[in-house]
Amino acid sequence: MLNKELEERFIRYAKINTRSDENSPTIPSTENQFDLLNLLVEELTEIGMEDVKLDPDNAFVTATLPANTTKDVPNIGFIAHVDTADFESENVQPQVIDSYDGNTIVLNKSLGIEMDPETFPNLKNYLGQRLITTDGTTLLGADDKSGIAEIVVAMQYLIEHPEIEHGRVRVAFGPDEEIGRGADHFKAEEFDVDFAYTLDGGPVGELEYESFNAAAAKLVVTGKNVHPGTAKNKMINATDVIRRFMNLLPEAEKPETTENREGFYHITSMSGTEESGEVSLIIRDFDSDKFQERKQFIQDCIDKINEQYPYDVIQAVIYDQYYNMKQVIEKDMRAVNLAKKAMEDLNIEPLIYPIRGGTDGSKISFMGIPTPNIFAGGENMHGRYEFVAVESMVKAVETIINIITLNTKASE
């Protein structure tokens, strides 16, 4: 039953274009995110959740599964995001592969798009399983629509099985996580839980409570354009200024050369002419002191370049995006320990390692709700090779239910 319900819900959600837009100032950043948010209001109401509402201020859908026990049980929350990443998300057409045989998957025959296990060795972990893939022209949206489907199905299961004793459970589905703004307006006090989980991880077993400290910088470069034939000692070429800045960045400290707990600098976009230019970059580090040093290093590079010109050719804004949630969660490890035991009871090996990124939980933890991240099952996120196994989603549902039941037993 879980398999069929999960597959149908996930595919229904995946077909809705919910791509977010970092250049939009609205909440949510794209109007079509409301298509899924409004559908979730309907579906949560249909399955019997209470206090279902869509908050117009922050575009979060929240709902409550009331406690059916008289025990003094901590309130738990489960959170997922509705938006998808910056990749083609119009006309998503999920494909289902029953009992994957280990061979190359033809995603789109006419375009010659294939997913080869030699290139994607993670496919070999899913032999015999039921995979949901893209048609090769869009992303899938398992990040994080698999998490949404898992939370909804888990709540539905508990409602249909009132014999399972549980405390009060809250769920939340929000916008704009992929552009780093979704949780900015989350109303943690109103959510009213002792701890929570984001269902936003990858393969089965992921349990993460350590994230990057994150900052972004935007550099605006003002040059001076002069005819190149008479430019000596006059021209200030903005593109050359950008080149000088990039040459100062450590070659070994970028995403493609770092791993584990190593931080980095990452240019996300740049543009320019002789007259003007812009550079956007992100700064990441797990260690708080090194994070501050990295931000200062960028400022020092800018100052060094500006000193070479008669005016400040680079104006920059450097701002923090989120912080390492470990700083909060390590003071209250109930959520982590509970999830770890819930997985072990289901013969799932907990995979505990730092997220080389961030989740809504990174911000929500600093709002007073310790919020680690657990697996939702998706692989190869944010692109045409994304896929999820139905069996992985089932294990996520079982983990949610076991977290909730163990939470009740722990209060005995």
Q: Is the CB of residue 229 less than 8 Å from the CB of residue 375?
A: no
> 142-160 vs 33-47: helix axis angle to the nearest 10?
10
Positive or negative: CA dihedral 172, 174, 179, 181: negative
DSSP calls for 87-156: S--TT---EEESS--SS-EEEETTTTEEE-TTT-GGGGGGTTS-EEE--SSS---HHHHHHHHHHHHHHH
Q: Where are the alpha helices (DSSP H) in 204-287?
A: 238-248
DSSP SS3 for 206: strand
Total Cβ atoms within 10 A of residue 227: 8
Distance of CA 347 to the CA centre of its chain: 26
State the Cα–Cα distance between residues 398 and 204, nearest whole angstrom.
Answer: 11
Residue at token pair 């996300």: 268
Strand partners, 208: 373
Name the residue type at position 281.
Answer: L
Cα(70)–Cα(328) distance, rounded to whole angstroms?
Answer: 30
Strand partners, 372: none
Helix (H, G, I), strand (E, B) or coil at 338: helix
How many whole angstroms separate alpha carbon 284 and alpha carbon 216? 9
3-state SS, residue 352: strand
Active-site amino acid positions? 83, 177
**Residues near 65 by beta carbon (within 8 Å), at least 6 away in sequence:** 49, 50, 155, 158, 159, 166, 168, 169, 170, 171
Rounded Cα distance between 379 and 143, Å, is 9
